[in-house]
Amino acid sequence: MRRFGFCLAIVLCVADLAFAQLPFPQAMVPPPGPLMYVRFTGPKGAKITVYRGFDKGQTLELPCKLGFRPGYAYRLAVFDLPNLPRQVFCPTLEIHGTLALVPKARNADFPAHINFSEDEFGRVMAGSFVKKVITLERPDQAIPVASKADRPLEVPVQGTRDPYVEATERGQPLIVLQLGQRYLTPQELNATATPGTILLPGDRVLGTPRRPPYLFWSRCPVFDPLHGPQHASDFVTIFDGGDSGNPAGINRFGKPRGLDPTDTLAEYTDSKGFRRLAASNRVGLCVPRFVVIKSEFRLAAQTVRTSVENRLIATATNAAVGQRALRGQSQQTQAESMKTQIRLSGTFNTLGTSVVGRVQGLKIQSTLRSTKNVDATMAGPKQPEPTDGPLLIIKWPDLCAANVGDVVTFYLKYSNTGGQPITDVVVSDSLAARFEYVKGSAKTDRDARFTTQANEAGSTVLRWEFTSELQPREHGLIAFQVKVR
């Protein structure tokens, strides 16, 4: 037994040594994702220097557009400001994500805009710390305010609230910009850069980065285990048409209900006089919009006085200056009616007199007649009456992707698929919060009464009322334009 135990110990030692010589598998590095493009703007004459780790830096004049790999932090140098000609500012740029667009769209056509203003640099010189979070806004929670691609909406937050938390509630944070008084030398800026992560204007190819992304926490977001992670396309796609939210229907007064924002519905009367409802198909338009969540902090002030006998230290209260957004969002929910019908049942009884008799002496007589010619005409099969068919409504835009400020044309085609004419056709389209109706752009191929009214999303409800009958297999066409906010 001792010899067996000694031999087993030798075998285990040899196995450990052999296992120690085996190479361990390296960590799986995710492939580089699409670049996140950023367009920098500022005062006229201002310049920006970009460091890539293997050169002395590339100086560009504002405005300029650069491509960054997500998962890295970047240090930039901004200088030659008209009011501050001798000052150099070194903001930090963290790229936490990128856009997931449709196959035909390019990320370079949808850059995020960062504007360097002299007012912000002046407050930084006075001791403030500016932090901006550029987030990709959720279309269903969009602010119903028009914006421009080069001038995104800025939402200031209170000094005690983290702007990243506010950005997470409004959408998907992609870029974090931090600006303070700290100055870095060109050698320090070049030492913090990672080669192969910045695409300059005019470059077509970007090499492989020297090291993998180190902002891993942004790649593993927390999500609901039942619903799963939210798809990236939900942040860039505006869905329109169909019947979303509460199901639409006709109440007991014959009026439609359940017309929510982004819904497209049509009501009509069939040949039997019943009021019907039809919904269009649902379309998606790729229109990413960035919102800047901004906060500003002031550094704490500390005063120290020292005497011979005692020491007195007085610390002032930390002062934080912030602004609260004045915009508000409200939603109204209307009570729905409930209709229940109970059909009465009836019972029918038939009473009669039965006669019972007795027959005696029954006599059977028969008569035979010769066959004669009989002429008869048989009626043909009865043709079935044409039945009612549903109203079919189809919606489509003229573009699959657009930018903020572009004009998109929508088309609505409604058709009578049944064999009976339908009357009192009314088409209603409730626009999304990101769409603004272009006045005077609504057109139809039939006479209609066109009206508009505001909806609860801060946009418009378009309504067409047609008085003429829609015969079987006939169709009509509606066209209108919207401006993307």
Each residue's pLDDT tens digit, 183-239 = 899 999 998 899 999 999 999 888 888 888 888 654 456 667 777 777 777 889 999
CA distance 463 to 251: 19
Residues 361-390 pLDDT 10s: 556 565 656 656 656 566 667 778 888 999
| Percentage, residues of the chain above pLDDT 70 | 75
Phi, psi of 103 (to 5 degrees): -60, -35
CB-based contact 472:390 (threshold 8 Å): no
Cis, bond preceding 91 (omega within 30 deg of 0): no
Unique residue bearing structure tokens 């769409």: 435
Handedness of CA 230, 232, 238, 243 (dihedral sign): negative
CATH architecture classification, 243-279+387-484: Sandwich (2.60)
Q: Is 123 helix (H, G, I), strand (E, B) or coil?
A: helix
CA distance 218 to 27: 17
Question: Which residues in the chain are classed under CATH 2.60.40?
Answer: 243-279+387-484
CA distance 188 to 279: 61
Q: Average pLDDT in the 64-82 region?
A: 94
Pairing of strands 112-115, 36-41: parallel
Residues 148-196 pLDDT 10s: 888 899 999 976 788 998 998 899 999 999 999 888 999 999 988 999 9
